[in-house]
Amino acid sequence: MNFVSTRIITGDVARLVAFYEKATGASAAWATEDFAELATATATLAIGSVRTVALFAPGAARPADNRSVIIEFLVDHVDDVHANLSGAGAGADSGVEVVAEPTTMPWGNRSLLVRDPDGNLVNFFTPVTAAAREKYAR
């Protein structure tokens, strides 16, 4: 079995894709106006319109309703991601809410926690201790 992707259901695919493209630097591959994917070397984030849910099971997923999952990205420099998301065009106008400024966690990662425009928690982190760097060695 292979874990392929995580999919976010949204009422505004273009807005959410724009956020993740800015945050990750990855370009989305669009299958239709209702579905796009952002692929990294180790995982894919899929973003689907609420209209796609009806193809599976109507009402099975609701946009902007997550309060239990954190999407995580390993990044080279978390402070650079923070600056990018806090810069011109970011903040309230872009739907980016900084939940926790970059902080070094007890387990050795420097983390930035934000909410995407739909309110999903996103953790960008950089390993900063030797043990954390070893765990995520590429």
pLDDT for the residue numbered 2: 87
Q: How far apart are the C-alpha atoms of 124 and 86, rounded to whole Å?
A: 14
Looking at residues 39-67, what average pLDDT do you find?
93
Reply yes or no on whether the pLDDT at 91 is more than 60. no
The pTM of the whole model exceeds 0.85: yes
Can you name the CATH fold of 5-135?
A: 2,3-Dihydroxybiphenyl 1,2-Dioxygenase; domain 1 (3.10.180)
Burial class (CB within 10 angstroms; exposed 0-12, middle 13-18, buried 19+) of 81: buried
What's the pLDDT at 137? Answer: 87
- What pLDDT score does 95 carry? 63
Checking if the pLDDT of 89 tops 90, the result is: no
